[in-house]
Amino acid sequence: MDVDRELLETLYQSRLEDLRGIAEQHDLLKSGNVEQLRARLIAALVLADVDLSLDGLRANPEKGLSDLLKVFGIKSSGSKKQKWQRLWLHLNHDPKKLNAEALPEMNRDELHALCVSLNLQRSGSKNQLLGRVAGVLGTEDGSWGRVKKSLRQGKRGAPTVAVAAEPAPVTEAPVVEEVEVAEETEPVDTDPAPVTVDEGSGASMLELEARRAELTSQLREFLLVGRQHDEMDIAAFIDDLGRLGFGIQHTEVREHILAELTDMISLRGEEEATSGAQPGSWRERRALNDLEGARAGLLDTLDVILDRAGGDIARARMEFELSASEAGLDLDLPAISGRIHGLFDLQVSLKASEHEMDPVTARRQRALEQLYRGGIDITPEAIAVLERIENQMEAFERVVETIIRRADGAFTPVEHALLIRFLERRGWNSDHPEVRPRLLAAAGVLAAEMGYIDAEYIPALPTSLSLDSDQVSGVVESMRDVLRDMGREPPSLASVSEPMDEQADIDRVKDKLDSADEMLRRLSGGSD
């Protein structure tokens, strides 16, 4: 029969409320989201004479499946099995509910039913069934559950296809023969794939078993940063395993990896549950005591392993696990394996933090050390100013760089005064007696780290930063008391006035000589 293109385009472009109205007019079920309702209406109104049951889809020829997929507005390429699987999913499930994230929450019976409907192998554990269903969902990700955008927006018209109705009830004898042929060719379409997989998967499975420790290490690395419920993330991880030499081109290998990933997720959950708990058995208690006794040696061994491994963290993890096993630790217990791998992850994170600190952060950290050096004796008022500088360290760094660049790389007292005045105008109270020397020292560190000045030109912090006049008087009186205790009379102002007068005379002579030098320079300039 020919499809009603006008009705089909209306269904493509209608919103949820409009689709519900159409369903109500035809006395059809109007529950579900917009795409489920759209698919139901297309099946009931446009393809009313087509058998869309699971058996009908499987018996449909490949060309007929392609035409049906086009009518429903979803991807129409792929093998015959992929086409009817995709169409069955589109007609019977919601991709927001049936996805890799939802599969672990299903029980074995539900997964078994999906395997039956999708014509997948039905034997094995729940994890194996989950891996098979996840493989189909990953392959068909984004291919079903939603009409193509171009059709929804009316940029492309309805497909011009003639969908043949199932003639089974009309001519029994020929149809029986055709059905028999179809059922004979159906296994031919599905069986060769496993045969091809088996031909190459045997060696790959043997290699996978031989590299089990490496696979386990890679799985743990994935769970550290990967998203275990993200199909695309899992697919990217499996592709990376292929680059490492795992035979992921074989379905059996991929399913085995997915099953191992599911088991590892469960193991990680057990490890986290027992990480802070009390020992649950005598064996676990003894194993924890053994771990505490071997911890120091394991840390030393881990440092050597990480240095030797370079950036190959997965191999380092595998070697560390082997070292822990050789040390007599019971890694079969989640409480022990979790602590061992937690110790490994902590050391890796610490080393990464050491190596990954960028130079900008490093120089600002050193500047902060200058700001807060000797912080015990700093007054609260000064602390408030220093905290403001810390919070605006980036702006402070830009001011320092601008001043030094305008001074052609110099950081002399002139630049010191300019920096202090500039910050004072911005309300930073930078001329505070406890803040000024620290601020200049921090600015010098920044300038040296940026390469503008040598380290020797960094302003040094004075030995005392917070002595006011009262404190100075107290120090002087203490020194006078010390002299009296030693039997010596402290000097008085009169006893030192004469040397001070002599110093004043020397200063006046220096001023006169400086004036004479200035006059000679002017005369020399005028004669030129």
Mean pLDDT of 262-275: 72
- Considering Cα of 327, then 331, then 332, then 336, what sign does the dihedral take? positive
Asked if residue 169 has pLDDT above 60, the reply is: no
Residue 73: phi and psi, rounded to 5, are 75, 30
**What would the pLDDT profile of 111-133 be if each residue is shown by its tens digit?**
888 888 888 887 777 877 887 88
Rounded CA gap, 24 and 46, in Å? Answer: 16
Residue 189 has pLDDT above 50, yes or no: no
pLDDT reading at 276 higher than 70: no
Average pLDDT over residues 92-102: 84
Task: Tell me what pLDDT residue 306 has.
Answer: 78
Closest CA to 229 of 155, 168, 138: 138
Length in residues, the chain: 528
Mean pLDDT of the chain: 76
pLDDT tens for each residue of 298-329: 888 887 887 777 667 777 787 888 888 888 88
pLDDT band at 188 (very low <50, low <70, confident <90, very high): very low
Q: Identify the pLDDT of residue 255.
A: 84
The three state secondary structure string of 60-80 is CCHHHHHHHHHHHCCCCCCCH
Q: Please report how many Cα atoms fall inside a 13 Å half-sphere around the Cα of residue 436, on the Cβ side.
A: 16
Q: Which has more pLDDT, 147 or 186?
A: 147
226 Cβ neighbours under 8 A, 6+ residues apart: 233, 234, 237
pLDDT for residue 499: 53
Cα–Cα nearest to 371, from 341, 400, 347: 400
Residue with tokens 């088991």: 263
Q: Which pLDDT does position 150 carry in this prediction? A: 76
More confident site: 468 or 214 = 214
Q: Which two tokens stand for residue 252?
A: 């059996």
Q: How far apart are CA 111 and CA 108, in angstroms?
A: 5
Cα–Cα nearest to 337, from 211, 217, 237, 257: 217
Which pLDDT does position 370 carry in this prediction? 84
Q: Of 16, 64, 66, whose CA–CA distance to 37 is shortest? A: 16
pLDDT at 196 over 50: no
What's the whole-number mean pLDDT along residues 333-350? Answer: 77
Tens-place pLDDT, residues 423-454: 888 888 888 888 888 889 999 999 888 888 88
Q: Is the pLDDT of residue 260 over 60?
A: yes
What's the predicted TM-score (pTM) here?
0.35
If you average pLDDT over residues 332-337, what whole number do you get?
77
Per-residue b or e along 62-72, where b marks 16 or more CB atoms closer than 10 Å to that residue's CB: eebbbbbbbbb
- Which residues is 36 bridged to in the sheet? none
Q: Note the pLDDT of residue 201.
A: 61
pLDDT value of residue 271: 66
Please give the share of the chain, as a percent, with pLDDT higher than 90.
0
Residue 484: pLDDT over 70: yes
Instruction: Find, among 103, 124, 130, the residue nearest to 257 by Cα.
Output: 130
**Tens of pLDDT along 18-72?**
888 888 888 888 787 888 888 888 888 888 888 888 888 888 888 888 888 888 8
Question: What is the reported pLDDT for 275?
Answer: 62
